[in-house]
Amino acid sequence: MSRRALAILVLLLAPATRAVEGQEWPRPEVFAGGELENYLRYLQTLRVVPLYPWGLRAFSPTELDRLLPADTSHPWVARHAFADRPSFVWVSPAANVRINTTFPFGYNDGPVWAGRGVTLDVQGGFAARAGVLSLTVAPQAFLAQNAGFALMPNGASGNQSYGDGMSAGTIDRPQRFGAGAYARLDPGQSTLRVDWRKVAVGVTTANQYWGPASEFPIMLGTNAAGFPHAFLGTARPVDLWLLRIHGRLIWGRLAQSAFAAETAAAGVRFATAIAIDFTSRWVPGLEVGFTRFSHRFWPSGTPSLGYLLQMFRGGQGGGVNSPTENELASAFFRWVLPNSGFEVYGEYGRDDYNQDFRDFIGEPDHIGGYTIGFRKALLRPGERLLAVRAEVQNLQASRLAQARGWAPFYTHAGVHQGHTQLGQVLGSEAGVGGAGTVVAVESYTPSGRWTWSWTRILRQQRGDPLGAAPPDARGVDVQHMLAVERLVFRGRCDLLARATAIYELNRDFASDAFNLNVVVGVRAGLR
């Protein structure tokens, strides 16, 4: 790292003054999985923000109207004007510099892929709102130096030699995006939508975050770029007296990277998915839901009615992967104990059909797994919000899964791209047959935020799960990460610095490796 970069990092990690009164920013930037959405989620557990289902993100402008802090006791009240309802506002321009010293590293950062070396990314745009109509245009661009490093041999040649080391033929997940610099311009968090009474309809390329997870979502999150899709659903939960139901249907287009093996339909897939979230007046703070997602090769003409209604059809069963269809499903819950500052959540997901009911009750974890987590927040009014969160995901091969074949989660032998968009997993970075754990402590003050975290990701594993083969001392490739992050409010700018030390045991089933990941960023407030 250069002396200039080190000096900037030290400056940003230094103590800062309190935010200046009158420097409030408007609220259109409450993007799925983003800084402000995470902050509002903590406030909800303290009942500073009203109870509302969190399993279908991103939130619309009308939903954000319902998520306003109920009082002014929270530490960022002087910085963010959540109560503002502007008809037009700039999406604050932001720029980040990411550095990896040894190998690519980064996840839950949308379309950005940070290779070895330096990666630059920028974002900006605007948001407008008039009655039931709202528009956000927030593209993002990045340029990765993509310096060379040792690849895990996958037996392929040409562009496909850059593919995944273990599952190159069943998932589009390159180890490296080519031999030179890699750049993309992505539509980012852009959305055009109409929220009329209880109905929402629109088109978007924004990331969707389905389920309650904050680091390792099973179905959809921010690990990859959002994909272009149309949606139809509820603008807010519909009260059916016993239950309130909030749902969304989507129809979209998924693309592959230049390093994928798929040739059918020119690598383009038709995506359709559904998410339903239930709450009840009888158990405040509890939500229960499910999701289902289908990949199919893009048809030669206009998608048929069968394509559009795929979410209302049963699976093919039979225990055999369809050569033209890949489906995933999950069920989840989240329970916020009102006024306690505490929430607990979990999600169970499957990446394969059941042969029948007997198969379901016999092997419920066949190509399946779970995410569980909790959050706890304490608020000292006007001064500090201290929080701890922890999350565990396990999508590894199960010892119970012996009655029929097993494949890593998110992969597929028929639709060879797996559950991906442009070479990145749509769900959890830790989930391709692996596992992840994170424990983080966060401190919010009027001057910004500190976050300290430890993360473990099981990247890949090999060997015989029955233990019949000889022991493999290097059969588990696992990363341990220690990170410190500082967000500082200075005038009209948010300054960010993060340093992550990654020690990887048995990288690509070979020797250990160490990588230092540094991120320095700035976001400028505009009116």
* pLDDT (tens digit per residue) in 14-72: 444 343 444 455 555 899 999 999 999 999 999 999 999 999 999 999 999 888 887 78
pLDDT at 11: 41
Whether the predicted pLDDT of 6 surpasses 50: no
426-442 burial: b if 16+ Cβ within 10 Å, else e: bbbbbbbbbbbbbebeb
The phi and psi torsions of 13 (rounded to 5 degrees) equal: -80, -10
Cis amide prior to 58 (ω within 30 degrees): yes
Strand 238-239 to 229-234 pairing: unpaired
Among 356, 208, 230, smallest CA distance to 277 is for 208
Least confident among 110-119, 290-299, 318-327, 405-414: 318-327
Q: Which residues contact 401 (CB under 8 A, 6 or more apart)?
A: 363, 365, 366, 367
The secondary element (H helix, E strand) that includes residue 9 is helix 3-13
- Where does residue 334 rank: exposed (0-12), middle (13-18), buried (19+ CB within 10 A)? buried
- Reported as a single tens digit per residue, the pLDDT across 159-201 is 999 999 998 889 999 999 999 999 999 999 999 999 999 999 9
**For the domain bounded by 3-524, which CATH number is listed?**
2.40.160.130
Q: Which residues contact 142 (CB under 8 A, 6 or more apart)?
A: 111, 112, 113, 119, 120, 121, 122, 183, 184
Q: What is the mean pLDDT of residues 286-310?
A: 89
pTM attached to this predicted model: 0.92
pLDDT at 468: 65
The secondary element (H helix, E strand) that includes residue 40 is helix 35-45
Whether the predicted pLDDT of 86 surpasses 90: no
Confidence of residue 452 (pLDDT cuts 50, 70, 90): very high
Domain segments of the chain as ranges: 3-524
Residue 378 CB: number of other CB atoms within 10 A? 12
Decide: helix, strand or coil at residue 283. coil
pLDDT at 12: 41
The share of the chain scoring above pLDDT 90, in percent, equals 68
Say if CB 521 and CB 486 are below 8 A apart.
Answer: no
The share of the chain scoring above pLDDT 70, in percent, equals 90
**Alpha helices, DSSP H only, in 302-396?**
305-308, 357-362
Whether the predicted pLDDT of 145 surpasses 50: yes
Alpha carbon distance 508, 81 (integer Å): 47
Decide: helix, strand or coil at residue 64. helix
Amino acid, res. 245: I
- Reported as a single tens digit per residue, the pLDDT across 358-383 is 777 777 777 789 999 999 999 988 78
Amino acid, res. 451: T
User: Token pair for residue 394?
Assistant: 């396990």
Q: What is the mean pLDDT of residues 329-357?
A: 90
Say if CB 411 and CB 432 are below 8 A apart.
Answer: yes
pLDDT at 17: 39
Instruction: Look at 306 and 342; give whichever has higher pLDDT.
Output: 342
Q: Could you give the maximum distance between any two Cα atoms of the chain, in Å?
A: 67
Among 461, 455, 406, smallest CA distance to 434 is for 461
Alpha carbon distance 504, 296 (integer Å): 36
Q: Which residues contact 243 (CB under 8 A, 6 or more apart)?
A: 278, 279, 280
Give the mean pLDDT of the chain: 89
The phi and psi torsions of 111 (rounded to 5 degrees) equal: -70, -15
Chain mean position to CA 177: 20
Alpha carbon distance 387, 366 (integer Å): 35
Among 80, 79, 110, smallest CA distance to 96 is for 110
Q: Which residues contact 418 (CB under 8 A, 6 or more apart)?
A: 167, 170, 171, 172, 173, 326, 410, 411, 412, 425
Whether the predicted pLDDT of 274 surpasses 80: yes
Place of tokens 């589009």: 172
